[in-house]
Amino acid sequence: MTSTERTDVLVVGSGFGGAIAAYHLAAGGARVVVLERGPWLTGNDFDHDFKLGSSYTRAFDFTVGDGMSVLGGNCVGGGSVVYFAAMPRAPRFVFERHGSIGRRMWPSAVSRDTLEPWYDRVEEAIPVTKQEWSDVSYAGGLWAAACDHAGRTANPLPSAIDNSKCANCNWMMAGCRFDAKRSLLFNYLPGALAHGAEVRPLHEVQHISRTDDGDYRVHYNVVDDEDYRIQAGSGTIDAKIIILAAGAGATPVILQRSEATLGTMPNAVGRYFSGNGERLNTAVLNEDKVREVLGLSRGDGLAYEANQIGKGPTVASWDRLDGSLPEYSRFSLEQLYFPPGLGTILAQVPGATGPSWFGVDKKELLKRWRSWLIIFQMTEDDNEGVFGPPPATGNADRISQQMLGVGRLRYNPTANTLRGWAEADAEVKDILERDGLAEVAAWTNDVVGAYTVHPLASCRVGDDPDTSALDDRNELRGHPGIFVTDGSAVPGALTVNPAMTIAALAERAIPGIVHAAQQRGVNVTYGAPSPDGATSGRQGAARLVPTLLHR
């Protein structure tokens, strides 16, 4: 005899979209199971080590596509464990963007103003704090000084880091050993567990089907905890409500694979993918000029040579986040750190005459690594990413035991996207090459295509059924009871780091999900406080809740 496992709410993925939903549904009284394909790592599991098999590869996912590679988290807590914790809100104009569809991309119900209370909830829950200049790393300070020298402004980034614990080790991408990063492992996820939610690591969801009584059945494989290429079993769980939050590189793939059992998917599933217009530049600083032109000194005889030191991005220049500029000309320029391996191979030799990303000159560039400054551009792309037919399992054919796989995303940048990148490149050059401060080159797109750590929009909200897979409450069109709350729901590039907006949109989706669960007979209510019990965020959003219940 086989017994079928049942729950009220099944959440796929434990990053921002998954953890926020799991917390609120569990706190409201629903039975919640979270399936997460990656391992469950905490504190001492986070290594300072580039060796394959350390947390740097265990918790990380790198999916190579055709024209676009996607980097993301692969662990309980998802991207929040490996991310850089820069948490700005998206500028007002972003919500008015038209992008490639000739009309507003965001649902009419969502604007910066209507999202503000949900941002506040996230800020309280995580918490996100404003940073002072004393929190800014050498690299961030250098970027600020260069911006200032070029007549630009620069801002310390709001962040989800507890600076009192931070060692500025720059190992954030391997998970934070010092518990300084306020990942979801410290707020929404423990909140969900305290209310009885179950989180199952190493469970990779493959597809969804229907049960005879009208519920959904989720089909998963169990993944080996060291070699992710090996499957260690499989199973199913039935649920009344499904919340997909596998990330914008994986959620649409699960839905595409489910088309055979669930029926036709909305046209926009697996289309309109955005890489958040992301692009990187590497500058190699002239240390003498840093001292002479910018007047910077570390006090130990060095002017800079501090690429290795810090906590990811700490300062951004927002001069081009100007809503009066034409679309595709607006972007932010953010100082960043990317560790060796991923952060070095794509860097090109400035002014290369021979090969730009390997060879003799590249080796010389690597020798000056301490004087590197990486600038991260977030521009407006054209939502041109499209997913091809899904691979056999997961969202990629895995190559390495961990981290590296080949997926089905195709991304062929349009003239608009290319123009935005070119303008951003020119701006970085103008700022950093002034007075011989540095030499700058963009990372190559010829090796693994463009690349993003900010996948978005592959299953997005909107008002127009042809160009959005979800209605304005994050429910999948034509498949009631399936909701998407991760980055794939965000309609397009944000020109800033996206996690704050992903999380706010997830918070906003919760009242509607609770309502749908109630309608299916689940005993659940909406209105949990912040995971630590704080209530001002809840109060601030209360007036908006009724507007999210109707359909």
Ligand X SMILES: Cc1cc2nc3c(=O)[nH]c(=O)nc-3n(C[C@H](O)[C@H](O)[C@H](O)COP(=O)(O)OP(=O)(O)OC[C@H]3O[C@@H](n4cnc5c(N)ncnc54)[C@H](O)[C@@H]3O)c2cc1C
- Which 45-84 positions form the footprint of other proteins (CB under 8 A)? 48-54, 64
Nearer to ligand X, 356 or 445 (CB): 445
Minimum CB–partner distance for residue 130 and other proteins (Å): 4
Choose from other proteins, ligand X, none: what does 83 bind? Cβ within 5-8 Å by kind: ligand X
Site for other proteins contains 41 (CB under 8 A): no
Angle, nearest 10°, between helix axes 415-432 and 138-149?
90
Nearer to ligand X, 286 or 314 (CB): 314
Residues 477-536 that bind other proteins (CB under 8 A): 496, 500
- Select the span of 146-154, 253-261, 414-422, 537-545 touching other proteins (CB under 8 A): 146-154
Site for ligand X contains 321 (CB under 6 A): no
Question: How many Å apart are CA 127 and CA 158, to the nearest integer?
Answer: 10
Fill in the per-residue mask, 408 to 447: x = in contact with ligand X (CB under 6 A), - = not in contact: ----------------------------------------
Q: Where are the alpha helices (DSSP H) in 481-535?
A: 499-519
Question: Which one of 101, 369, 515, 529 is in contact with other proteins (CB under 8 A)?
Answer: 369
Site for ligand X contains 46 (CB under 6 A): no
Question: How many Å apart are CA 234 and CA 288, to the nearest integer?
Answer: 60
Phi, psi of 342 (to 5 degrees): -65, -35
Question: How many Å apart are CA 407 and CA 452, to the nearest integer?
Answer: 14
Question: Which one of 4, 5, 43, 92 is in contact with other proteins (CB under 8 A)?
Answer: 92
Nearer to ligand X, 188 or 349 (CB): 188
Question: How many Å apart are CA 248 and CA 460, to the nearest integer?
Answer: 9
Query: In sequence order, which residues have a C-beta less than 8 Å from that of residue 265 and are 6 or more positions away?
Result: 255, 256, 258, 259, 469, 476, 478, 479
Question: How many Å apart are CA 502 and CA 15, to the nearest integer?
Answer: 10
Question: Which one of 170, 395, 474, 488 is in contact with other proteins (CB under 8 A)?
Answer: 170
Q: Is 252 helix (H, G, I), strand (E, B) or coil?
A: helix
Question: Which one of 164, 213, 260, 367 is in contact with other proteins (CB under 8 A)?
Answer: 367
Fill in the per-residue mask, 434 to 463: x = in contact with other proteins (CB under 8 A), - = not in contact: ------------xxx---------------
Question: How many Å apart are CA 29 and CA 333, to the nearest integer?
Answer: 43
- Select the span of 80-88, 376-384, 401-409, 463-471 touching ligand X (CB under 6 A): 80-88
Question: Which one of 15, 140, 350, 405 is in contact with ligand X (CB under 6 A)?
Answer: 15
- Select the span of 34-42, 152-160, 279-287, 461-469 touching other proteins (CB under 8 A): 152-160
Nearer to other proteins, 32 or 166 (CB): 166
Nearer to other proteins, 188 or 318 (CB): 318
Site for ligand X contains 404 (CB under 6 A): no
Choose from other proteins, ligand X, none: what does 448 bind? Cβ within 5-8 Å by kind: other proteins
Residues 183-242 that bind other proteins (CB under 8 A): 227, 229
Question: How many Å apart are CA 98 and CA 113, to the nearest integer?
Answer: 18
Query: In sequence order, which residues have a C-beta less than 8 Å from that of residue 335 and are 6 or more positions away?
Result: 137, 139, 140, 142, 143, 313, 314, 315, 316, 373, 374, 375, 376
Angle, nearest 10°, between helix axes 138-149 and 287-294?
60
Pairing label, strands 450-452, 68-73: parallel
Residues 340-359 that bind other proteins (CB under 8 A): 340-341, 344-345, 354-355, 358-359
Question: Which one of 101, 109, 293, 406 is in contact with other proteins (CB under 8 A)?
Answer: 406
Residue 251 in tokens: 């959620």
Choose from ligand X, other proteins, none: what does 306 bind? Cβ within 5-8 Å by kind: other proteins
Choose from other proteins, ligand X, none: what does 39 bind? Cβ within 5-8 Å by kind: none
Choose from other proteins, ligand X, none: what does 549 bind? Cβ within 5-8 Å by kind: none
What is the dihedral angle through the alpha carbons of 206, 209, 211, 216, rounded to the nearest 10 degrees?
70
Let me know if 132 is exposed, middle or buried by CB neighbors in 10 A (0-12, 13-18, 19+): exposed
Minimum CB–partner distance for residue 83 and ligand X (Å): 3
Tell me the torsion sign for CA atoms 151, 157, 163, 169.
negative
Residue 226 in tokens: 């060291």
Question: How many Å apart are CA 550 and CA 512, to the nearest integer?
Answer: 8
Q: Which residues sit at the interface with ligand X, rule CB under 6 A?
A: 12-17, 35-38, 71-75, 78-80, 82-87, 173, 204-205, 245-248, 250, 254, 312-313, 394, 453-454, 486-487, 497-500, 502
